Structure 1
Amino acid sequence: MNRLIQSGLMFGNMFHVVSPALVERYNRALKHLTGKTTQLTDFHIDISGYSPEIGDELDDDLYLNQNGVNRQFILLSTRQKSAPLLNAKFSTSRSILRHFIDANETQLFALTAKDAVAGELVNSVFSVSDPAQLFEIRKIRIEADTTQGTVKDAEKLARLVDRFKETEDGWYDDVLIAEMIALAKKTGDVVRNPVRLKQMEFVQDNFFTAHFGGIYIFRAVEHPAAICVGDKPDDLPIKYVFDLNDRNRIAKFFDFNGLVEPIVKARGIDAAAILRQKMDFIVVDVAQEAGIDLAGATRRDIRVIARQFATKLPPEWHALNALVQWAEGDGPWPRIGSDHPAYFYTLRAADHADKDLVNMLLAELTRKDIRQLFICHKELFYSLYRGWSDTKRSYVVDFLTREYQVDKAGARKALFGHDAPMKEPETTPEEIIQRVGPWGAVRR
């Protein structure tokens, strides 16, 4: 994995904690949340404050996420918002933390200038020993404060100030005034500079969980279902339960709920180029099995390998090739049914609120597409990477560094972006008059 780390493809954008002041604040927050501290003086943290170095030190990768639910977090800086979330047990956790930081950025910037902010993503369960308990999770609420309770004290001081203003003899209440002064020494002037964090709650209806081998849960769709990466658990409280072998049923689920669209019919993208790249990735898989050195391989090299191993290329490659020929006007429309191994390679998420989740599931179903795997399902990418040959690892790192890292936003837009739908041009009254005259069209 060192090759990934050195190329910035793993642990990228982590926040570096190196100053004694930040280490001390982190330890205060860690002690506050878990009762533990670190002896390290130099480490990196993700968006939630989790550090892989501290995880190794404590021999506990879930030291901020006990039982894999109700994830705790430590914020030392608002700059953590661009960091990844490691060991994510729920696909929604990073976006929730990012929304929280964005919505409270000014307040968090002020609070983290003096102290760490510690908090928790609170839901209705404290463990998921049974898969059915996943369906009890409906809403995620964020609770957060500094280790010294600044937000709580500020709220209390604000209430005391209101009481002081509303009480006719407030100026004579020495106890009230003394309590306000004591709190103000810790919080500052909450009248001019209110210290408040927005109370935020997030609905969690459609999500992926890494628990029980991985389950995609779709509840807020017209035809709900759970799609299991591993074995299907018994007695899930949802009507339809599939596994990854139920390809036809997953395809119907996508179709009935309008969750996907064919790449060749998507607006604003170069469908043929995307499909050709998927074909290259499939060739790389064949080359790996043949023991071919792929170090520094270009697209031209991949085409040469494809010709050399034409008889060994799998059905996915041939179906995608036929689709490319159709897209470029050189061949008939190929019929690729949902039982064909290339079927899910031809799709991407439609434009809806859960497109990231659907693209993540598509990556699960199209594991030879290493680019979609890396972008949409990093944990699975890292897991599969460990089993690849060194020659494939070298090619993948080189490709992602050269063609993804240089322009992440552009690559995502090219692959998964959705253009605005075409609108009928608005016609002004003046244009109508010019066309038909002030009294309307003349009838013949």
Structure 2
Amino acid sequence: MFGSFILVWLAFCLVFFFVWIRKLRRDKNFPPGPRPFPIFGNLLQITLENPLEDLGKLAECYGDVFSLFIGSTPVVVINGLEAIKEALVTKAADFSGRPKELMINHLIQQKGKTMNPHVLFHNAANNIICQVLFGTRHNYDDEFIKLFVGIFKEVSKCLNGPWAMLYDSVPIVRRLPLPFQKSFKMIRAGHLKLRELVVEHKKTRVPGKPRDFLDCYLDELEKSGTNDSTFSEEQLIGYVMDLQFAGTDTTSNTLLYGFLYLVNYPQIQERCLQEIERVLEGKEQATFEDRHQMPYVQAVAHEIFRIANTAPLSVFHCTTKDTQLKGYSIPRGTVIIPNLSSVLFERGQWKFPHEFNPENFLDEQGQFVKPEAFLPFSAGPRMCLGEGLARMEFFLILVTLLRRFQFIWPEDAGQPDYTPVFGSVISPKPYHMHIRLRQDTQ
């Protein structure tokens, strides 16, 4: 009896193995790539510490368009300006889908002393997006801010860890009580809080006179009714969570990288100040329109966006129909990873591709220019919808802080470490800096 059980079990394992191996085959004319392993595909060949370096090496080996397997799911990685433009702009309709079976999609669909600037910048970025979404601002010790900043930091950390890798590779484990369940629990807590906000807004809103994003959506929901409408309160909560996440993490981590570079390039910081003082002389506050008279500050801001590279793999796409890219055949439903990092540091596109240098955005006359390869917000119809807000708030925060404070690297802090920490977005390692009030602002 026991021997028969062993034989049946071995036969099952053998069938499972051959079925899995068959799923790991690349179809004819599908983009090439490294040989995948059973269960995990190619994920064991990508290090969590620096996946961009591994993707760069694979591009050198297999070309600008190559494929990987996440578990048994084939994905195509696109590198370089030419290939990314063809996919996301020229053939945008073919590549504009979103994959549905990754952990990040399921999370979204769930209901004098030195100072460490990490929490400060996260709080500031979250407060700005709260103003847009809810029409409210909060103290930085407010429980609302603490809740959502905590959720986003924890979920971001999980999404680039081994448990998210297991979730995406082995669907059978998704309902088990494993550590990734904590992220889903935190997202559900955020949804509950947002539902409370929606209830409060419904009590105080005046139809047709929106105060914020919530009111605008509720107005549209009221107009459309319930018949065949894509508007719903559940959709609203999902959109708000998504916008909060995107609007907090990317901006705050870009600020963190920006000031890490500025404290270690004091000459750039001071040249920005000279231009700011000249343009804002006699003005109490800067406006976004002032950027047109600040070519150097604009160049510095864009160089920070480029070098920070906070969303190097964009948001994954998928093909909406069978299509072609660079001569390869890509079937409908294939997951597409646009490697924006390969464009932001592409040789031939930048004067100084691997240096922090505002000259990348200045012409010979010192005027601001934006190269075609500036794609930190992706490209095409699926590009980041928050680009305008992100660029505006970043410019105003940068100008306001540099005008009032001097930022200094501590003498006892050693050499700065620019090594990225990977999560759902890239961030720098924690650091401290001195902040000194400028004399003419006292």
TM-score between both structures, scaled by the size of structure 1: 0.22
Higher relative contact order (CA 8 A, sep 6+): 2
- Structure showing greater Rg: 1
TM-score between both structures, scaled by the size of structure 2: 0.22
